[in-house]
């Protein structure tokens, strides 16, 4: 699967996530892209380079953060990259607070269940990846995220399966209280009465259009959940790229 528009691809910004690729390395080794999104001016890639697993983040072409493991022997392997995000997530934006986005975290590269590289990112991309790029599996159809390779960098082994698990941060009652206090101190946040009223909407499927504070945060979560559900339904129907995009747009309405 290649050339999935960023608007239809799952976002891993401002959240924890884990990639898991089940691959087969032939005699003589393998290299190539397993999964990538973005490109030269911002994005990530999980790939094999001369049989060595690599996960790389390109931070708007200003800095590249790289995890690399040892050369893989011929045979079947499971390559994983697990990233634990340190921030509170985009829910803080509902309180006029940007502290939840663009925060750092710790990434761990694993091979067959064993950690082979661990590194902390001090900062991450807060908003979007390069808008004119796409998400690709098995090759890279856009610009490369790294100078390690040249496109299309098709994987020369066998990619049996790849999975992505996303864990979006959710604001705790203590987080909400602190954000409310910070917003009130700045003079631009919801009142105590409004915040208390909005807190009652957490966990409910229906969100009023007049809600602020936690109500807006809940709106964001509901929309993101719906978008991921629509994407999954589109993928299950084996639609082409244009049909998939149209399906997701219709599903979101």
pLDDT interval class at 128 (50, 70, 90): confident
Dist. CA 118–CA 83, nearest whole Å: 10
- State whether 81 and 183 are in the same domain: no
- State whether 42 and 62 are in the same domain: yes
- State whether 59 and 120 are in the same domain: yes
What residues form DSSP beta bridges with 161? 22
- Look over the chain and give the mean of its residue pLDDT values, rounded to a whole number: 83
Q: Is 11 helix (H, G, I), strand (E, B) or coil?
A: coil
pLDDT interval class at 206 (50, 70, 90): very low
Structural domain tally of the chain? 2
**What is residue 183's predicted lDDT score, i.e. its pLDDT?**
84
- State whether 224 and 113 are in the same domain: no
In the predicted structure, residue 175 carries a pLDDT above the cut 90: yes
**What is residue 202's predicted lDDT score, i.e. its pLDDT?**
37
> Shortest CA distance to 34 belongs to which of 84, 85, 69?
69
**What is residue 64's predicted lDDT score, i.e. its pLDDT?**
95
Q: Is 95 helix (H, G, I), strand (E, B) or coil?
A: helix
Q: What is the CATH number of the domain that holds 128?
A: 2.60.120.200
Of 120, 135, 167, which closes a domain?
A: 167
H or E element, residue 173: helix 173-186
Containing domain of residue 248, as a range? Answer: 173-252
Of 167, 183, 205, which closes a domain?
A: 167
- State whether 209 and 135 are in the same domain: no
**What is residue 132's predicted lDDT score, i.e. its pLDDT?**
80
Of 135, 167, 199, which closes a domain?
A: 167
């Amino acid at each position: 699967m290649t050339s999935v528009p960023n608007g239809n691809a799952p976002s891993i910004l401002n959240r924890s996530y884990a990639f898991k690729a089940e691959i087969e390395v032939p005699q003589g080794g393998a290299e190539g892209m397993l999964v990538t999104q973005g490109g030269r001016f911002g994005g990530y890639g999980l790939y094999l380079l001369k049989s060595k697993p690599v996960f790389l983040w390109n931070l708007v072409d200003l800095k590249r953060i790289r995890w690399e493991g040892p050369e893989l022997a011929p045979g079947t392997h499971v390559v994983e990259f697990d990233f634990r995000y340190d921030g509170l997530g985009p829910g803080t934006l509902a309180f006029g607070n940007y502290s939840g986005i663009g925060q750092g975290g710790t990434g761990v590269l694993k091979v067959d269940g064993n950690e082979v590289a661990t590194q902390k990112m001090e900062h991450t991309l807060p908003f979007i990846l390069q808008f004119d790029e796409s998400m690709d599996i098995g090759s890279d159809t856009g610009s490369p995220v790294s100078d390690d390779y040249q496109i299309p960098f098709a994987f020369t082994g066998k990619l049996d399966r790849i999975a992505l698990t996303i864990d979006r941060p959710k604001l705790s009652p203590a987080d909400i209280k602190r954000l409310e206090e910070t917003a009130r101190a700045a003079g631009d946040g919801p009142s105590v009465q409004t915040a208390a009223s909005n807190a009652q909407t957490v966990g409910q499927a229906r969100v009023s259009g007049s809600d602020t504070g936690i109500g807006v945060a809940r709106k964001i979560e509901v929309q993101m959940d719906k978008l991921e559900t629509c994407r999954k339904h589109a993928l299950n129907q084996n639609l082409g790229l244009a049909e998939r995009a149209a399906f997701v747009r219709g599903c979101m309405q």
